[in-house]
Amino acid sequence: MPPESTSHSLQIPTPLTPKPPSRRTNAYSLSADVLIFLSGAAAALLLFYVFSSFILPPTPYLVSSNQFQKPSSSDTPSFYDDPSLSYSLPPSPSVSDWDTKRRLWLHLHPFPPNRILMLTGSQPSPCTNPIGDHLLLRFFKNKADYSRLHGIDVFYNSALLHPSMPSFWAKLPLLRAAMIAHPEAEWLWWVDSDAAITDMEFQLPLQRYQSYNLVVHGWPNLVYENRSWTALNAGVFLLRNCQWSLDFLARWARLGPQNPDYKHWGEVLRAELPDKLFPDSDDQSALIYLLIKEKDRWGEKIHLENEYYFEGYWVEIVGRLQGITQKYLDMEKREPELRRRRAEKVTAAANRKSRENGLPAATAPSGWRRPFITHFTGCQPCSGKHNDIYSGEKCFEGMVRALTFADDQVLRSYGFRHSDLLNDSVVELPFDFPVAV
């Protein structure tokens, strides 16, 4: 029988449909979202402001630019728009707060850190030595080669920027002007015109100089104990682009020929440095004097470098160059990596890395490692008025040897080398040189 029908049969419930929210509820939710978003944005801006205050310098030129002339371009005004800015040494107006000004400029014009500007030069008139201009050209080519290999800017100056500061004092006005003209440069590297870079692979160990503002080749014991005129050499040095350096240049220059008491300072330096050979005040003697007399003020930021040939005396170097060349060739015969042909831009870095374990310590002057810089002190290639203790022939031969020694390292990337250190002719290098000779 079919089951009896009943009014209590099972019913499938209808799903519940949520009630649409009212317009008032929608508006409340949207307002809350906007409030949360605005609060988060305000917090983010506050955090950015707090952290940026530790990173960026104050920006006085952005808020008080009315003190400057209107810039000629749409660039943000900087210290260059200050009409009182002077590129000259005092008594011209001094530059103050240079570190902040430079930091702001770098914020507006970012550059990689630790940039180096090499400065060198000679007098504006032709050399009196018949071969002098040719020698200066070769010395400059040498510096340009090294700078190209290591990504260094170089400026060759032939103008006298301060009429009363000629000769060895002429570098100080140039350094002052270059610091203002090149705020992107962390280091200014002065190299005398008669100094040759004789190790094209060597790289300045800037990490060693993080705590210093001036690096010069010298020996502390000769400065403070012997008080010797040859305790350091002011023909090659690194100077940091900072307020300390501007102040030091101004102090250093006060012992130079722009000072009305210049003759007096010559007598003072002669009395202070017993082995000083001539009566005039010179830049090297003045630097030693400041180290001795004002050590508390300047000495902490000056490093006397003597652990490698930051600047080496040519007389003790040129006679060893041929032997050094042979030692490097012997190393290349043993190491295939050193014989590989490479593009010029990577040669110095690759070879430096490959030679790392095979080279003697840079601290051994009597060793066979290439000297970084060979300085022809006393040879005077432009005037020819060399020191009487040398012959003109010895100076000339030494310069040619050193310049050719360096040039061979450059020509190697082009597939050539000189037939010997006193010969201008070149020979093509066979593949796998020097094994295949």
The answer to whether residues 204 and 330 belong to one domain is no
Any domain includes 437: no
Residue 425 CA to its chain's centroid (Å):
34
Any domain includes 327: yes
Any domain includes 72: no
Any domain includes 33: no
Q: Please tell me the distance from the alpha carbon of residue 214 to that of residue 298, in angstroms, as a whole number.
A: 10
The answer to whether residues 238 and 346 belong to one domain is no
Residue type, 232: L
The answer to whether residues 345 and 238 belong to one domain is no
> Residue 368's pLDDT is what?
85
- Domain end position, chosen among 295, 310, 325: 310
Confidence category of residue 164, pLDDT binned at 50, 70, 90:
confident
Residue range 7-48, pLDDT digits in tens: 333 333 343 334 444 444 444 444 455 455 556 655 555 555
The answer to whether residues 246 and 367 belong to one domain is no
The answer to whether residues 119 and 183 belong to one domain is yes
Any domain includes 298: yes
At residue 218, what are phi and psi to the nearest 5 degrees?
Answer: -175, 180
The answer to whether residues 106 and 232 belong to one domain is yes
- Domain end position, chosen among 249, 280, 310: 310
Residue range 120-159, pLDDT digits in tens: 999 899 999 999 999 999 999 999 999 999 999 999 999 9
The answer to whether residues 230 and 318 belong to one domain is no
| pLDDT at residue 65 is higher than 70 | no
Confidence category of residue 106, pLDDT binned at 50, 70, 90:
very high
Q: Please tell me the distance from the alpha carbon of residue 200 to that of residue 198, in angstroms, as a whole number.
A: 6
Q: Which residues pair with 239 in a beta bridge?
A: 188, 214
Any domain includes 251: yes
- State both tokens at 395: 């100076």
| Dihedral sign from CA coordinates of 172, 177, 182, 186 | positive
Residue range 250-287, pLDDT digits in tens: 999 999 998 899 999 999 999 999 999 889 999 999 99
Q: What is the DSSP letter of 157?
A: E
Q: Please tell me the distance from the alpha carbon of residue 209 to that of residue 238, in angstroms, as a whole number.
A: 10
Q: Please tell me the distance from the alpha carbon of residue 44 to that of residue 41, in angstroms, as a whole number.
A: 5
Any domain includes 340: yes
Task: Label residues 243-266 b or e (16+ Cβ within 10 Å = b).
Answer: bbbbbbbbebbbbbbbeeebeebb
Q: What is the DSSP string of 79-106?
A: GGG-TT--SSPTTSPPP-SHHHHHHHHH
- Domain end position, chosen among 274, 292, 310: 310
Residue range 285-335, pLDDT digits in tens: 999 999 999 999 999 999 999 999 999 999 999 999 999 999 999 999 999
Q: For the chain, what percent of residues have pLDDT higher than 90?
A: 71
Q: For the chain, what percent of residues have pLDDT higher than 70?
A: 82
| Residue 157 to residues 10, 162, 367, Cα–Cα distance (Å) | 106, 13, 35
Any domain includes 436: no
Residue-number span of the structural domain to which 372 is assigned: 314-428
The answer to whether residues 414 and 289 belong to one domain is no
The answer to whether residues 269 and 330 belong to one domain is no
> Total structural domains in the chain?
2
pTM of the model: 0.82
The domain that contains 106 carries what CATH number? 3.90.550.10
What average pLDDT does the chain have?
A: 85
- State both tokens at 1: 């029988």
Helix (H, G, I), strand (E, B) or coil at 142: helix
The answer to whether residues 104 and 169 belong to one domain is yes
| pLDDT at residue 185 is higher than 60 | yes
Residue range 324-371, pLDDT digits in tens: 999 999 999 999 999 999 999 898 889 988 887 788 877 655 578 999
> Residue 63's pLDDT is what?
31
The answer to whether residues 323 and 417 belong to one domain is yes
The answer to whether residues 344 and 302 belong to one domain is no
